[in-house]
A and B are shown apart, each in its own frame.
Chain A
Amino acid sequence: MERVPVLKIGDILLVSIQIDMEDQVALQLQEDLAERIVATGVHGVIIDISALDIVDSFVGRTLAAIASVSRVLDAETVVVGMRPAVAITLVELGLSLPGIRTALNVELGIAMLGSRETVDVLGDEGETDPAVLTRE
C-alpha cells in the first residue's frame, strides 16, 4: 500500500498528499501523523491537498479526525491548497469540514502557525492556554 510521506521542517510536520486518497491511505496517514507528532514533539501540522482532485466525505472526516488528534497532542493542524473545484463540490455536498483550519497555500499556512505564538488572532479556545503561549 502506498504511504503519504511526512516531512519535518522546524517546528512543523509537512504532509503533501500527491496520491489518490483511498480510505486505507487516509487511515494510515492518521496513525503515522499521531506517531510522528509524539516522536518529534512539533506544534504544527500542515496538510497540503493541492494535488487532490477529489475529497470525499471519508477523507473530509479523516482530516477532521487528524485535526482533533493533533490538537490533543498540542499540535495545530492547517489544511492548505484546497482547489476551487474541490471547495465548490464540498459546499454543494453540504460538507463544511467543521473544526479544520484552512489556508490558501503552504506559505500562508506556515504564517498562520507562526503567528500563533505572538497574537491569538483566531480566538480558538485552546489557544488561550498559558502553556501554549509561553512555549519556546
Chain B
Amino acid sequence: MPLSPDEARRFAVLLESHAEQLTARWTELVTRSLRNRLSSAELQRQTSDLQRGFQQAFSGGATDLGDGPADELRAQLSELSNSRARQGFNATETAVSIYAFKDALLEVLGDQSDAATLRDYVAISGFVDRAALFTFDSYVRIRESLIADQTEQLLELSTPVVKLWEGVVAVPLVGTLDSARAQVVMERLLQTLVDTSSPYAIIDITGVPAVDTQVAQHILKTVVAARLMGADCIISGIRPQIAQTIVALGIEFGDIATKASLADALRHVISRTKQSGR
C-alpha cells in the first residue's frame, strides 16, 4: 500500500532528525548479520548513503518505490545488490541489509504503545519491504547475468580456431559437442575461413569424449557448409574407440578425409596444397 504524502513528509523529517542514530544502529545490525565479512567503515558508508537515499525519496514526496523521487534510491539499491552479488554474499545476506533498517527505525520511533506510532511503523516498514524485495529482484537479475556471461565465456574459451599453416586452419574440439556449441564452432570456423582465405580446415576431435549420431551430424553439416564456401575439411584425432563407435553406429563420412592424428591431417593438406600449387 503506498504511503500518503503526509506520511512521506513526516518520515522525511523523522529520518533527518535521527540520521546519525539510525545509521549507527543500522550499520551495527548489518555488520552482525554479515559476520564481519565487510569492514564496518564500508558498511557505515553504504548505510549512511542508503539512509540519505530513503530520506531524499521521502522528502521528494515519493509515496511508493516506483515513484520518480525514488529513482535515486532505486539506483542505490541496485548498486548495493550488484556489489553484494559480486562479492559472493547470498540472497538472505543481501536482503537482510535492507530489512535491518526496519529494526533500527523501530528503535527511533519512540513510544510504541501509541497507536499512531504503530501505524506509522507499519506504513514505513511496508515501504522498506518493497525496497528489500526490489534489492532481492536485482540481486537475482545480476546473478543470472553473471551466469549467462560465464556460459558465454566458456563457449568462447572452448572453441578456438587456430591457423596451423599458410592456408590451413584447425579447430581443436574439446568437450562434449551439443547443438549450441556446434553452432558456435561452425560459425567461427566458416568466418575464419573467409577472414584468412584458407582453403583447408582441420577439425580435430581428440578432445571429444564421445561421438554419437548427433555429434557426427553436427560435424558433417560443418564440413558440407565449408565445402559450399569452397574450402575442404579434414577430420582428425579419431581415437580407436571412437572409430569403433562410428562404424557400429553406421555413420557415413562419405568422401570426407579422416585421419588418425592432427599431424597426419596436416601432412595430407600440405601435400595437397603443393600438388594444386595454391
Contacts and interface: CB of A to CB of B under 8 A. Distances in A.
Interface of A: 78-80, 82-84, 86-88, 90-92, 96-97, 101-105, 107-109, 111-112, 115, 118-119, 121
Given A119-B275, A121-B276, A88 B227 contact: no
Interface in B225-266: 225-231
- The number of chain B residues touching the other chain, given as a range, is 20 to 34
Interface stretch (B53-61, B140-148, B187-195): B187-195
A87 B197 contact: no
A115 B277 CA distance: 7
7 contacts: A78-B230, A82-B229, A84-B191, A88-B186, A104-B193, A105-B197, A115-B276
Nearest to A109: B230
Nearest to B228: A87
Contacts of A118: 277
A104 B229 contact: yes
Interchain residue pairs A-B with the least CB separation, the first 3: A84-B190, A102-B230, A103-B230
B276 A88 contact: no
Interface in B204-239: 221, 224-231
Given A84-B193, A121-B275, 8 more contacts: A78-B230, A96-B228, A102-B228, A105-B194, A108-B197, A108-B230, A118-B277, A119-B275
Contacts of B275: 119, 121
Nearest to B198: A104
A119 B194 contact: no
A107 B277 contact: no
Contacts of A88: 186-187, 190, 221, 225
A32 to B, nearest CB: 23
Q: What secondary structure prevails in chain B residues at the interface with A?
A: helix
Given A88-B186, A104-B193, A104-B199, A80 B228 contact: no
Nearest to B224: A91
Given A87-B225, A91-B228, A115 B187 contact: no
Contacts of B278: 108, 111-112, 115
B11 to A, nearest CB: 58
B194 A104 contact: yes
Contact of A103 (B191, B199, B225): B199
Interface in B148-202: 186-187, 190-191, 193-194, 197-199
Given A87-B190, A108-B197, A82 B228 contact: yes
B277 A119 contact: yes
Nearest to A118: B277
Contacts of B191: 84
Contacts of B231: 104
A79 to B, nearest CB: 8
B229 A102 contact: yes
Nearest to A50: B194
B277 A83 contact: no
